[in-house]
Structure 1
Amino acid sequence: MTPGAPEPDYIQLLTPGGERTEDSTYSLDVTPEELRGLYRDMALTRRFDEEAIALQRQGELGLWPSSYGQEAAQIGSARALGSDDYVFPSYREHGVAWCRGIDPATLLAVFRGVHNGSRPPKKANFHPYTLVIGAQTLHATGYAMGVAKDSADSAVVAYFGDGAISQGDVAESFTFAAVHNAPIVFFCQNNQWAISAPTQTQTRVPLYQRAQGYGFPGVRVDGNDVLACLAVTKWALEQARSGQGPTLIEAYTYRMGAHTTSDDATRYRGDEEVEYWRHRDPLTRLATHLTAQGWADRAYLDTVVQEGEQLARRIRESVRAMPDPDPSALFENVYADGHALVDEERAQFTAYQASFTDAEGA
């Protein structure tokens, strides 16, 4: 949505001005304590994200994909999940990982090059980040089909962006999920830009309407409204667990930062557009609501800021303390039982590395 464009048709429970609204289909009862918790989740996720960007700029990370501006979509949807539900993320779901109890520092290991990827704690039910665009939706659909065969009382959520919805993998996932009535929620964070390609170059209709062609419901929600994201995702998960099959949720949000730290967003979008969305900031929206209702004051907000600074400091220390990996480890796990050619390449690489050591010793 650009400045001057009409307001899109979507589910909204908290206006940009912080006023609460109601929806008969997606009702939500939430306590002041829960609201403060949602604000804290979003604020700490953003502070972690800011620290990761700083670490990359200082050479501590090779790359970082920011989630700045998408906190409401991630926190709202993730707080709707049950402990037995399983998450398949892309590479930007830092807020979802936070809600699943994953230490943010562990997310940075891959981007620092400490390892090629590792599975988070099993109890988190959170698949490793997937850098291949849209591929995780296939994994998620297969897993959900297995959940259905096991008659488990749980559901699956697959996260992806607006760019991924143009991928064939996502289309195939929709087909299989629909035909097999898989208990899965496809959660598309439409942040308006697939790197430098705007959404309008990928579709002529709202993304959530894609679901109609596959025979399951699609819902568009205000992705900067944490309450709407929470309510709609809860509804979709209940549909999945009760045997109603898949749902596509389009969270209409905005990527406030660049696609990654290697991207220069100023080359393809203007300051006016960014400023327009800055006034729809999800954190400001909820803070305004909390203070207007008397459920949070400046002291509480300052406490969250202080907690964020402590988190950032711990993250920085953890990253700098990460050990350098053994360079020869890149040859591991290529084949399950080893391979003669890989062994030969490892030996050549080891000898090459040793030549530098010999030269230094001489």
Structure 2
Amino acid sequence: MENNYTDELFSAIQQTNKSATIDNFIKTDINYPKNPYSQEIYEAIFLHNNGHKKGFNETRWLSENEIQANGLKLELGEENNFIQSDLYQNNQYHENIKFYNVEQLDKASFDKLPLEVKPMPSWRANPQIEEFIESQGVKILHNSTSTPRYNPKNHTIYMPHRSQYPSSEKYYNDMFHEIGHSTIIELGREPKSAEQKANFAKRDELVAEISAIKLNEMTKNKLDKGNSLAYLKNFLSKFGDDKSVQKEELKKALTESDKVLKLTKDKYIEATKGKDIKATKFESVSNNDFVKARQRAIQKLEGKQSLPIPKSLHKGMNKGIKK
């Protein structure tokens, strides 16, 4: 039966004629490193590319000289915890400037800073899905200057700011994808052999994307199936043109995504025991239902008549945009 699921999904992927996927979020400079006084974006490439890795939610930074000039103080022990970057400012180039995040200031100094005003998202959060995300035990920072990403070294997901997402559906879509990645260590997907290391990135993209689709179905979060199919098609193509090889990789990813679904759901149920939350309302999604849903999406795109959708997937078939 598992082979049938793989065959049907692979066929649906091959039928999609979308050549590129669409980002769920809108690219802005909201998370670019800024000066808290002038709101000026620092032209400091290393700070821009690596500031988020320090683990701060804040995206405001001060140079060592700016801290001294404004009579501010760092928390004890933070003096050596800086990011060093060259800086282009006022038509001058400065080398090896030390930058500190405003979270590294002591409380008295932090309270002196101007209030930061970031835009609010235009959508409302889903309390149950937020509870599900929180139950996964992975640190989440909304400070990414580019795309969503997961770092296994510190078990952290870096997301764009919530206001960069035009809808909750798109935000949760990306979050579920990164949660899929976050199970790498727990489910033993770390590469060990040379072959595994060479293919790890593209394999885990397949696992994360299929996991995201299944988590969307389980939580009744809307998603664009066509966009996800295009995403899978793109990463399968990285294994070469041999369709039998691609199909085998898809089969492996489906198996791993089942493990992700079980692990994440178990975490949620455990975390919500005794709470006034309908934790068991999240439905299981089988590979069979998953593949049939994919096929219906393709048929709809092509204008073919589709079969009735199972009740368990009714709400999951609404359109959205996937990255």
TM (normalized to structure 2)? Answer: 0.23
TM-score, scaled to structure 1: 0.21
